Structure 1
């Protein structure tokens, strides 16, 4: 096959490029045609909207005010849309079609893009005009329904006010004035509607509903307040006045409050509340009535407290009189006992002064009680204050009685304590003598210096106890401390004595046992000599025992323990 010449290849390439370019142009031309067809359809739908009918219908209606102003504003929008926008868009659609038909694809596409946004704006504007014009029509219809509903509310309220006029008291005039104002507002709505100002009429109807709401609240709130001012408060005030007179005649008095003045103020407050009622100041009236009710409750409470307090006082009078008598007798007995014991014992807790102070406090309480009784007899008693004072007296007497009983209990133990102390002293003396006698019976060559010094201390302690217990006034507190110390020291002395006796006896036994060992055991012989010297010269028997026992145990293991065990067995059998 012959090869294609170069010019042939170039021709083929050119033809291919032309074919591709033609295909692209045709494709874009088709796309433009499709887009233009869609835009034309949208534009026709806009032209077919019933905007002209809406505008025509409203133009025939008698509009004024806000409604007319709104109509004119949207009518101008309609005219601009139909007279300027629609023709301009139609002209551009035709121009784009011609350009596309003549294969001026790019120019046609730019117009398509511009028209897409412009027609979208037209659609939004057309919808806004439709909604606004429909709203004007709807407002007129809604106003009729709203006016009818408001008139029904008005009729009900007017009927309630007329039929129940007695329940509104002096506020009836203000309520009737409110009815008149609302009726005038309805007339104003009628004028607005007849003039075609439906939007302003809707605003006026909203104001009427606010008037009706306020009137409804007053119709609900005023009757209870009128009932309080007309029936409840006067009845309660009269009851308070009569109650005060009866209580005053019965001898009741009141502290820090002048009830007649309070009743006068209560009447003044009711008159002020009546003025608020006439002025139809419902919120202020409610606050005023609340204050009056609280004032009345407070006066009732004051009187009731005095009545209750008198009952408490009557119950306490006899009991407190008996309590005072009992406390005085108890105190005299206590003071006599304290003075008597003060002659024989040193009282370390100021019992004499304390008992006397209790007596003065009881006398002061008696004086207060007498004054309270006199006020009751003179019909000058404020029973709440008297009751409070009597409760304080009762509490004070209870505290004094508890302290007097505790003091008496403590004092009653003095003589018993003395007897116990003497018994312990006698026992100490006997045990000390027995200890000394037992030590004497051991025939020991002597006693260690420290032991003799400690024995002397114990002897002196026993002697001091004997001396202090034989004084005119005994300090049992100090003696008790001495008893504890002496008992411990005597116990120690007895233990030391027993230890010395055991050490001396064991030393002597082991020394005898050592005699058989010392000839053959120089260490035992030396220890025996040393222990004997200690035993007879320094009398340190434990040291002597330790010296010889150590040597013997070393020479003959177990010997010391056998001797010690045998000694303890003999001792336990005694």
Structure 2
């Protein structure tokens, strides 16, 4: 029983599977039939393309050469499409329709792929043939259009050369020769185009376009250059010659610049550039034209410069003459003053030499000025050069007078400096005598040798200053340095004198005060004896003061300070501060 049920289940499964397979086959067959219908529609749409008309239209263009070869290849492709491919497509589609009723699915798929590929390739070939046919028509159209345009351009160039041949000067022969060559090339291109040999026509067309463009540029560029060389520049040269003659008649001169020679060179360059233009080299001719224009402007500028310079030169003559005269008078005054001062003073900064150099510069300036004035009187003046001289003269004279003023200022105070130096010398001498009297009035047993040495040094310095001041020529710079040194040394001598007075006076008072302790204090007696020796025999008053002051402060603390304060109170001065030892 169980085996029977299991067998029934298997049979049902097989039936269901068979149904599914059958339905799948039906579905695929239906899909193939739809694709066959689509391919049939596409093939019919390709057949509607009017390739035959286009082949016929292009065939009527009388093609030759490579263009004809291209056309014949397209014609062969068209024949293949029409007589072979379409028929094969119909056969394969019909066979595929019949096969779609069967169940050999792999064979059916292979046949479908094959016919689909054939249809697609045919469609691509039709589009390619159609595009190439259109390209041949477009090239033919372009070439015919080019023929029309180039013919118009050629006729325009020819008309320009015929109507305005006078505007091209020596270039006309070569321009007409190029036009003739252009005409020959144009005829060749026209013939190739009519014959339909578009490949060769294209090569000729490119060269023809280039040659036409070059000729067009030449026709545009040459007339203005030729006009400058034959009208503008010659007129300007004529004007330059006339202007130069007028200026020469009015006695204008141009220094080392030879204007007739410059004008002649300009004329030569004009003639040379006409030859350049004849060779159809407008770019080179333009460079030379620019150079000619600059040279013409240069000559104009030279003449205008002389015209512009005359008025200011004439106006400046009197002012420069007065400036030179003033500088000469100031130089004369300065040299006299330096000569006078040089008899009494040493001039250490080359004042006299500098003044003489400045005077020589003034003489040179005056010489140039006189030569310029004579040139004007002789009607040989180059006014621009004289104007330049005047500008330099004003500048140089200004600097010279500034230097003269500085020299006068530097020596003007020599007399006052001498007077002040002599007054200071008298004061130094008075101070020395005053210090000497102060020391002599002390009635000391002797004077320390160090003080005497310093005193004599200062005295000798003062004496040397007096000697230098009595020289026929006084070196005030040296005198000034001596004054500063003596003043410093005299101040130091004053301090040393005060120290000598104070130390000797205080030492004397402390020795007297120490007498009260000599019997009761042996150390005081000993110190008093030593201090007396230093005071009376060695003249070392500061050491004597220190010796006795030290022992008194031990015996009677504060005694030295009290006696010292009393001394300075009586003297009416403050105790001087001790300078640090050097």
Class of the TM-score when normalised by the shorter of the 2 chains: 0.7 to 0.9
Residues in 2 aligned to 1:553 and 1:24: alpha-carbon distance in whole angstroms: 148
Residues in 2 aligned to 1:36 and 1:522: alpha-carbon distance in whole angstroms: 161
Q: Does 1:225 align with 2:219?
A: no
Please tell me whether the aligned partners of residues 323 and 397 of structure 2 are also in contact (alpha carbons under 8 angstroms): yes
Q: Name which of structure 1's ranges 230-239 and 288-297 shifts more when overlaid on structure 2.
A: 230-239
Residues in 1 aligned to 2:58 and 2:270: alpha-carbon distance in whole angstroms: 60
Distance 1:526 1:110, change over 3 A: farther
Structure 2 unmatched ranges of 5 or more: 575-582
- The residue aligned with 2:68 is 68
CA-to-aligned-CA distance 1:260-290 (integer Å, 9 cap, x gap): 2222222232233344445544323322321
- The residue aligned with 1:474 is 474
- Residue 374 of structure 1 and its aligned partner are, at CA, apart by 3.6
Please tell me whether the aligned partners of residues 451 and 496 of structure 1 are also in contact (alpha carbons under 8 angstroms): yes
- The residue aligned with 1:430 is 430
Distance 1:56 1:438, change over 3 A: same
- Residue 568 of structure 1 and its aligned partner are, at CA, apart by 4.2
Please tell me whether the aligned partners of residues 448 and 540 of structure 1 are also in contact (alpha carbons under 8 angstroms): yes
Q: Name which of structure 1's ranges 463-472 and 352-361 shifts more when overlaid on structure 2.
A: 352-361
Q: Does 1:301 align with 2:272?
A: no
Residues in 1 aligned to 2:206 and 2:518: alpha-carbon distance in whole angstroms: 139
Distance 1:14 1:451, change over 3 A: farther
- The residue aligned with 1:272 is 272
- The residue aligned with 1:418 is 418
Please tell me whether the aligned partners of residues 510 and 548 of structure 1 are also in contact (alpha carbons under 8 angstroms): yes
Q: Name which of structure 1's ranges 504-513 and 158-167 shifts more when overlaid on structure 2.
A: 158-167
Please tell me whether the aligned partners of residues 144 and 193 of structure 2 are also in contact (alpha carbons under 8 angstroms): no
- Residue 355 of structure 1 and its aligned partner are, at CA, apart by 4.0
Q: Does 1:488 align with 2:488?
A: yes
- The residue aligned with 2:263 is 263
Distance 1:118 1:283, change over 3 A: farther
Distance 1:49 1:537, change over 3 A: farther
Please tell me whether the aligned partners of residues 147 and 190 of structure 2 are also in contact (alpha carbons under 8 angstroms): no
- The residue aligned with 1:141 is 141
CA-to-aligned-CA distance 1:469-491 (integer Å, 9 cap, x gap): 11222222222221121111111
Residues in 1 aligned to 2:204 and 2:305: alpha-carbon distance in whole angstroms: 58
Residues in 2 aligned to 1:556 and 1:101: alpha-carbon distance in whole angstroms: 161
Please tell me whether the aligned partners of residues 510 and 549 of structure 1 are also in contact (alpha carbons under 8 angstroms): yes
- The residue aligned with 1:405 is 405
SS in 1 for 2:468: helix
Distance 1:282 1:83, change over 3 A: farther
Q: Name which of structure 1's ranges 370-379 and 181-190 shifts more when overlaid on structure 2.
A: 181-190
Distance 1:99 1:441, change over 3 A: farther
Residues in 2 aligned to 1:572 and 1:44: alpha-carbon distance in whole angstroms: 149
SS in 1 for 2:413: helix
Distance 1:343 1:117, change over 3 A: farther
Residues in 1 aligned to 2:94 and 2:531: alpha-carbon distance in whole angstroms: 153
Q: Counterparts of 1:50-69 in structure 2 under 5 Å?
A: 51-69=51-69
Distance 1:66 1:503, change over 3 A: farther
- The residue aligned with 2:502 is 502
Q: Counterparts of 1:144-293 in structure 2 under 5 Å?
A: 144-148=144-148, 187-198=187-198, 201=201, 209-211=209-211, 213-278=213-278, 280-293=280-293
Please tell me whether the aligned partners of residues 97 and 108 of structure 1 are also in contact (alpha carbons under 8 angstroms): no
Q: Does 1:448 align with 2:426?
A: no
Distance 1:192 1:505, change over 3 A: same
Structure 2 length-normalised TM: 0.77
- The residue aligned with 1:439 is 439
CA-to-aligned-CA distance 1:505-538 (integer Å, 9 cap, x gap): 4444555666667777776666555545434444
Distance 1:468 1:176, change over 3 A: same
Distance 1:410 1:12, change over 3 A: same
- Residue 185 of structure 1 and its aligned partner are, at CA, apart by 5.6
Residues in 1 aligned to 2:28 and 2:524: alpha-carbon distance in whole angstroms: 144
Please tell me whether the aligned partners of residues 139 and 199 of structure 1 are also in contact (alpha carbons under 8 angstroms): no
- Residue 422 of structure 1 and its aligned partner are, at CA, apart by 1.0
- Residue 459 of structure 1 and its aligned partner are, at CA, apart by 0.3
Please tell me whether the aligned partners of residues 346 and 473 of structure 2 are also in contact (alpha carbons under 8 angstroms): yes
CA-to-aligned-CA distance 1:142-183 (integer Å, 9 cap, x gap): 445555555565666666667766655565666666666666
Structure 1 unmatched ranges of 5 or more: none
Please tell me whether the aligned partners of residues 507 and 545 of structure 1 are also in contact (alpha carbons under 8 angstroms): yes
Please tell me whether the aligned partners of residues 99 and 105 of structure 1 are also in contact (alpha carbons under 8 angstroms): no
- Residue 126 of structure 1 and its aligned partner are, at CA, apart by 4.9
